[in-house]
Amino acid sequence: MSQIIGYRPEDAGQPPSLSPGYVSTVPRSPRLPLVKIPQGLTETTGPANAWSRLMGPSMADLTTQHAAMPQGQRIIVAGRVLDEQGRPVPNTVMEIWQANAAGRYIHKKDQWDAPLDPNFTGAGRVITDADGRYQFVTIRPGAYPWGNHHNAWRPAHIHLSLLGPAFATRLVTQMYFPDDPLIEIDPIANAVPPPYRQRLVSRFDIETTRPNWALGYLFDVVLRGPDATPPDTEHGEDDDHD
Ligand SMILES: [Fe+2]
C-alpha cells in the first residue's frame, strides 16, 4: 500500500513498525535507529521439551470450557508449524485468543454493544506434536469495530502466539478467514504488503471438516525465512484489543 513508508523488499513479509493507516503504530513505532542486541544463551534457547510441564494441560477445545456450547459456528483450525527449511517445529507452545461469535472479547476494556457469551472465554493453548502439527476446536469469531478511523471494522481473526524453539523466536500474528471482504480495507492486515498478506489467510479444507460437526480451516505457520508468516505490528493487544 502507498501508506507503507521505507519498506524494503528484503523485509519480506515483515510489516513496517510504522504504518500510518494503522493509527496506533504512529506513537508506538521507534523514532530512533534500532539498537542491535547480540543474541546470547537467553535469546537462543528455551525450555525445549519442558513446555508441556510448564504450560499445564492443553486447551485445544475452546467450545468445552464452560457448562454449554458457545454461540456461533463451530470450526476446526489446524495446521503445522515449520521453520525456514520447511522442517516441523515440534513441542512448541501455540496460544490463541479471539473474540466470540458476536465479535466481543471477554475483557473489561471491550465494551462495545455486542453480547458476551457466558460459555466462551476465547483462549486456547496447545503444544505442537512431533510433526509440528496443532489443532484447535473453536467458534468462528465475529468482526468488531475498533475506532481506528470512521466505520473501522476488524475482519474476523484469531490471534496467535508461537514461542518457537527459543525465547527470541516468538511470533505474534493474526489469522484471517478466506473471502472476508473486510481484509482488504483493514489497516492491520494491510500493514503486510502483498503477496505476503495472503499468508495470514487460512484456507477452507474439506478434509479437515468433520461431517455433521464442524468446518475445517488450515493455517500453517512458518517461523522464519523467505516463507515466514508475517508478524503482527501490534504487540499492545492487552491495551487496545485491535
Ligand atoms: Fe483482535
Check if 150 is active-site. no
Give φ, ψ of 144 to 5 degrees: -145, 155
Separation of CA 213 from chain center: 24
In angstroms, what is the span from residue 180 Cα to ligand 1's centroid?
Answer: 15
Distance set, CA 125 to CA 15, 160, 165 (Å): 25, 10, 16
22 is catalytic: no
Q: What is the pLDDT of residues 148-181, one digit of tens each?
A: 999 999 999 999 999 877 777 789 999 999 999 9
> Which grid cell sits at 51?
513446555
What's the CATH class of domain 48-235? mainly beta
Q: Is 134 tagged catalytic?
A: no
> Active-site residue among 159, 197, 199, 241?
159
pLDDT tens digits for range 12-30: 678 888 999 999 999 999 9
Ligand 1 center to 39 CA (angstroms): 31
Instruction: Decide if 159 is catalytic.
Output: yes
The ranges assigned to domains in the chain are 48-235
Nearby residues of 235 by Cβ (< 8 Å), 6 or more positions away: 172
CB-based contacts of 32, cutoff 8 Å, min separation 6: none
In a 10 Å sphere around its CB, with 0-12 CB exposed, 13-18 middle and 19+ buried, how is residue 182 labelled? middle
Residue ranges of E strands in the chain: 74-82, 93-97, 123-127, 133-139, 144-145, 153-154, 157-162, 171-176, 203-204, 215-218, 221-222
Dihedral, 16, 21, 22, 28 alpha carbons, nearest 10:
60
CA of 41 to the centre of ligand 1 (A): 33
Per residue of the chain (242 residues), what is the pLDDT tens digit?
334 455 555 566 788 889 999 999 999 999 998 888 888 888 888 777 777 788 888 899 999 999 999 999 999 999 999 988 889 999 889 999 999 999 999 999 999 999 999 999 999 999 999 999 999 999 999 999 999 999 999 999 999 999 877 777 789 999 999 999 999 999 999 999 888 899 999 999 999 999 999 999 999 999 877 778 888 875 444 444 56
pLDDT value at residue 15: 86
Spatial separation of the C-alpha atoms in residues 222 and 231, rounded to whole Å: 10
Active site residue 105: yes
Q: Say how many Å lie between the CA of residue 238 and the centre of ligand 1.
A: 10
